[in-house]
């Protein structure tokens, strides 16, 4: 009798494990492909802001391409190594906050992580766009820009990791749609750069375009995410 009970208990446990390991196959009600469109927009919104920020590297280099003045004497151009610092301060927070996100999900809800990250990224790009028209010393501008890069990629890592967790709960086709949106983000940024070069626009108007476009894209992504629970 005890053996039988133990055997039944073990078999039930095995069945539960097998069920929990199976991927979810029941698709949400996707009327008019709206759920698929929203996941495409989410994929686009995770990478579009940073791709546009990188595209504006010429704007940053031109603002930092000044001369260092000490005691009223010009000392020549100061080298900031902008691209090297941008690479470091974009990849490091991606690594750190991707790891943190695997811990944060236990205490912070998915909605707060995704919506909160989108709101903060939106505010950072609004600030960066406003900074285009604000005169500033090169050293201070460099420091502010580096801090902005750090925070954009920190929130971007939380956003991307949380979105991957969300799309992993749904059938495989939504993961493909999400990643297609991510792929299109780089294409949009490259086209924007080519249009700016072809039009021979001044670097300030071009930079405003690079920063305002992600603001619009991030706002659309946020609204789309808030609409998603009504459709799933």
Q: What is the pLDDT of residues 29-43, one digit of tens each?
A: 666 588 889 999 999
User: In the numeric block, which tokens belong to residue 169?
Assistant: 């709960």
User: What share of the chain in percent tops pLDDT 70?
Assistant: 79
DSSP state of 72: T
Q: How confident is the model at residue 155 (pLDDT cuts 50, 70, 90)?
A: very high
Q: Report whether pLDDT(195) > 60.
A: yes
Indicate the SS3 state at residue 23: coil
pLDDT at residue number 189? 81
- Using the predicted structure, report yes or no on whether residue 5 has a pLDDT greater than 70: no
Side-chain half-sphere exposure of 207, counting CA atoms within 13 A? 21
> Can you give the CATH number for the domain in which 50 is found?
1.20.1250.20
The domain tally of the chain equals 1
Q: How far apart are CA 41 and CA 39, in angstroms?
A: 5
In a domain, 73, yes or no: no
Q: Does 7 map to a domain?
A: no
Residue 203 falls within a domain, yes or no? yes
| pLDDT at residue 43 in the model | 93
Q: Does residue 75 fall inside a structural domain?
A: no
Q: Considering the domain boundaries, does residue 24 fall inside one?
A: no
Alpha-carbon gap, residue 143 to 149, rounded angstroms: 10
What pLDDT does 9 receive?
Answer: 45
Alpha helix ranges (H) inside the chain:
2-21, 34-55, 57-63, 82-104, 110-131, 138-167, 172-199, 203-227
pLDDT at 158: 93
Q: What is the C-alpha to C-alpha distance for residues 148 and 136, in angstroms, rounded to an integer?
A: 15
Q: What is the mean pLDDT of residues 144-167?
A: 93
The answer as to whether 60 is a domain residue is: yes
Domain residues for the domain of 204 are 32-65+81-230
25 part of a folded domain: no
pLDDT at position 129: 94
145 falls within a domain: yes
């Amino acid at each position: 009798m005890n053996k039988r009970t133990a055997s039944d208990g073990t078999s039930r446990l095995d069945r539960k494990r097998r069920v929990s390991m199976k991927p979810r196959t029941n698709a949400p009600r996707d009327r008019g492909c709206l759920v698929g469109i929203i996941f495409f927009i989410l994929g686009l919104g995770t990478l579009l802001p940073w791709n546009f920020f990188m595209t504006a590297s010429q704007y940053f280099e031109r603002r930092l391409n000044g001369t260092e003045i000490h005691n009223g004497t010009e000392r020549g151009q100061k080298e900031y190594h902008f691209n090297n610092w941008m690479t470091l301060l974009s990849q490091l927070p991606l690594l750190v906050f991707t790891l943190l996100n695997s811990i944060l999900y236990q205490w912070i809800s998915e909605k707060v992580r995704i919506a909160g990250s989108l709101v903060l990224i939106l505010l950072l790009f609004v600030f960066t766009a406003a900074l285009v028209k604000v005169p500033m010393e090169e050293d201070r501008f460099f420091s502010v820009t580096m801090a902005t890069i750090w925070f954009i990629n920190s929130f971007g890592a939380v956003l991307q990791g949380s979105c991957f967790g969300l799309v992993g709960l749904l059938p495989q086709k939504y993961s493909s749609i999400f990643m297609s949106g991510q792929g299109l983000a780089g294409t949009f940024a490259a086209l924007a750069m080519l249009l700016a070069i072809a039009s021979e626009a001044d670097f300030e108007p071009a930079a405003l375009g690079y920063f305002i476009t992600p603001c619009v894209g991030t706002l659309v992504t946020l609204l789309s995410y808030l609409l998603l629970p009504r459709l799933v």
